Amino acid sequence: MIEIRNLSKHFGDVKALKNINLSVQQGEFFGLLGPNGAGKTTTVNILSTLLKPDDGSVTLNGLDLLSDPRGAKRLLGVVPQELALYEELSAADNLHFWGKLYGMQGNSLKARIRHLLEFMGLNDRGNDRLTTFSGGMKRRVNLAVALLHDPVILFLDEPTVGIDVQSRHRIYEILGKLHQQDKTIVYTTHYLEEIERLCERVAIIDQGEIKAEGTLDSLRQLIQGDSEVLVMLDDISLKTAPADPLPAGVRLTDEGLLGSGDDVNDLVQKLVTICSARGWNIRDIELKSASLETVFLQLTGKELRD
Amino acid sequence: MLAIALKDLKIILGDRKALVLSFLLPIFLVGLFAFVYGSMGAPREEHPVNLLIADQDQTDLSAVIVTRLDSLKSIRLTSICLEEARQKVTRGDYPAVLVLHKGLADSISANRPAGLEMQYDPAQELEMGLLQQAIMLPLFEIIGRPALREMVLEEVRGDYPRLDPKLIKQIENNIDKSFRSDNISPRLQNRNAIIMTPLIPVERTSWALVQAVAGTAVMMLLFSVAGLGAGLLVERESGTLKRLLITPLHPMQILYGKLLSTLVISVLQLAVVFIFAWLVFGLDLTLNPSALMLVALATAFACAGFGLFLAAVSTSRKQVEMLSTLIILIMSAIGGSMIPLPIMPVIMQKLAAISVNYWSIQGFFDIFWRELPLWDILPRIFILFGMGFLLIAVARLFFKRNLAGLV
């Protein structure tokens, strides 16, 4: 469905994308995970024909994106990071405007707008101006606009930025339904829980490079060791802890020390020794399986929030 | 408080283009107004007034008059046939034509009215005052004094046929002394007064009303279309421009869509202004409706092109604000919106032709003041459309070039 080959892009001296290769199958929910500035938005901008790559090729459903961008645009629905809507207009008017730009008109457009407002749970607010909408409702209209022309491929660029947990879950539900409708979805985010909840496969991108690609399970197997141990510290210890450097394979989280390794017993002993040497008080010890965050940390050397 | 001031200064100083423009604008305007007002008080020799002369008499005397007037530094004289001169004055290109009618020399000899006529454009009142002031004395020296001298001597000889020739000679000398050019009363100057004939009937629409309505309407329209520039940047900032670029629309269609909406608003704005002038000040909109619609449409098109140009070349809202203010005030100042053209220095009057204001205001003067037929107004209409197309072409280039930066 989506084939990306040797894609490169630079802005001045900054290499935003370095020889990226990716494949996304039809109906797949594919996650592109990376910190801010990793190259996610540049990738989506190229895939949505906004930017031309310096090198490489992209095919969508067998259609060459670079030679037939207008044809490709018909296949694509893009949900940009921004709320790209006219807040002075109602939800229905926004949908009507954007539908017209895709060549839709008359009763078929009206029917599509009704359907999408209902699908988004906004059928009773269709005629209200967006200025009266909550952030979550605007995000849903933002998503509805991308679905107007019933695209087979959907690019979502951090579509839940700046909204509360409840609204976020509402969007997850909608995306789940779209996935059931066999839409091919490429989802960029720096929220790990979104990737873990929604995506079947994921690519980790950092500094314009794909660091790893595969299912969540296959990615977890990439890191050394199968297990993680979290030694939870009391509040006083947590306050003093950031000042001390830690050995390799051990890092400090909001709750305490997290380490990964093959042998759980050795790992626990190692972490306990670190704590007693520094006079930190242990509150609890928890055994965990390797998380995607640990995978990310191992592959990129940095945390997602960096 | 200091932190807020420092933050604001940092933001303002960060946008260098906008900063430069904000300093350039007052400097330019101060320079411009100083130049215009300074030139108003300057000696006329530095800024001669244009005058056409149609010599239909073609005698030695008329040649002397032409030569004498041509020697004046305060006027720039152009000899021309009467018909062409009348056209030029009617079109507003020249303030007046001085006609030396056939039989001028004979009239002087026969002590009849001299046959001098000034056909003028009442819209150029100030120029006319300057012209009269400049030519009256030289003309009196050539025509008025000999005529008066001849008239007095004729009277003396008629009443006192036996008068001593020495006494007559003394009278002649006294007349010459009394009627020195720097010692002549206005009453005597008017003895051979030039017949003043306005080429445009004075009962027509008030010149000042046309100037006020047309000048202000065009300037305000330019300010209004500047919002288009800001509008495109708002779309960019809100992300809707990016989304528009993702749709199957050609990028230029986005630009043309903006142009169309601005054009509609511009036409409506002009219509409202002229209807207001009709209702409140009695501006006669029925004089030449087709020409009025075309001039308004051409003006709206040129202004919309200007708005599109601003939208394409600016990269921040601050830049739009400063660039639009700078260009609009310059065009309005030199184009006749802020200062009526006739009182501007000649060089500024020539510079006016680069502004949308000039062609538009002159187009409206052609309709309401000069009452020219559509055919004669067409060149100004074409120039306005041409300006619009040129600005759109430049806007296209910039928009295309900046497209990658817009996402």
How distant is the Cα of A45 from the closest Cα of chain B, in angstroms? 8
Q: How far apart are CA B66 and CA B98, in angstroms?
A: 10
B54-71: average pLDDT: 86
- Mean confidence (pLDDT) of chain B: 82
What is the pLDDT, as a whole number, of residue B374? 92
Instruction: Concatenate the DSSP letters of all residues of B96-129 into one string.
Output: EEEEE-TTHHHHHHTT----EEEEE-GGGHHHHH
Per-residue confidence at A267, pLDDT binned at 50, 70, 90?
confident
In this predicted structure, which of A84-98, B44-58, B141-155, B234-248 has the lowest mean pLDDT?
B141-155
User: Could you tell me which residue, B273 or B232, shows the higher pLDDT?
Assistant: B273
Kindly tell me if the per-residue pLDDT of A194 is higher than 80.
yes
Count the neighbouring beta carbons within 10 Å of the beta carbon of residue B31.
Answer: 10
* CB-closest option in A70, A81, A84 to B240: A84
The beta-strand segments (E) located in A80-140 are none
**Percent of chain A residues topping a pLDDT of 90:** 36
How distant is the Cα of B399 from the closest Cα of chain A, in angstroms? 14
Kindly tell me if the per-residue pLDDT of A50 is higher than 90.
no
What is the pLDDT, as a whole number, of residue B183? 53
Kindly tell me if the per-residue pLDDT of B38 is higher than 70.
no
What is the pLDDT, as a whole number, of residue B300? 95
Residue of B37, B96, B127 lying closest to B342 (CA atoms): B127
Q: How far apart are CA A297 and CA B303, in angstroms?
A: 57
Per the structure block, which two tokens stand in for B276? 């207001």
- Per-domain residue ranges of chain B: 15-36+204-406, 48-198
SS3 of residue A125 by DSSP: coil
pLDDT digits (tens, 9 = 90+) for A208-241: 888 888 888 787 776 655 677 888 888 888 877 7
Chain A interface mutation, best of B247, B258, B400, B407, highest count of A Cβ atoms under 10 Å? B247
Asked whether this complex has an ipTM greater than 0.85, the answer is: no
How distant is the Cα of A156 from the closest Cα of chain B, in angstroms? 13
User: Could you tell me which residue, A155 or B405, shows the higher pLDDT?
Assistant: A155
What is the pLDDT, as a whole number, of residue B47? 67
Per the structure block, which two tokens stand in for B17? 């283009």
Chain B environment of A82 (Cβ under 8 Å): 238-239, 242
A43-49: average pLDDT: 89
Count the neighbouring beta carbons within 10 Å of the beta carbon of residue A66.
Answer: 14
Please answer yes or no on whether A86 and B240 come within 8 Å at the CB atom. yes
Which distant-in-sequence residues (6+ apart) come within 8 Å of A196 by Cβ?
Answer: A216, A292
Chain A interface mutation, best of B242, B245, B246, B252, highest count of A Cβ atoms under 10 Å? B246
What CATH architecture applies to the domain A2-220? 3-Layer(aba) Sandwich (3.40)
Q: How far apart are CA B366 and CA B371, in angstroms?
A: 6
Q: How far apart are CA B355 and CA B363, in angstroms?
A: 13
What is the pLDDT, as a whole number, of residue B170? 82
Count the neighbouring beta carbons within 10 Å of the beta carbon of residue A218.
Answer: 13
- Per-domain residue ranges of chain A: 2-220, 227-289
What is the pLDDT, as a whole number, of residue A140? 93
CATH T-level topology, domain B48-198: abc type-2 transporter like fold (3.40.1710)
Per-residue confidence at B113, pLDDT binned at 50, 70, 90?
low
Kindly tell me if the per-residue pLDDT of B39 is higher than 70.
no
A162-189: average pLDDT: 89
**What's the whole-model pTM score?**
0.70
Kindly tell me if the per-residue pLDDT of B351 is higher than 90.
no
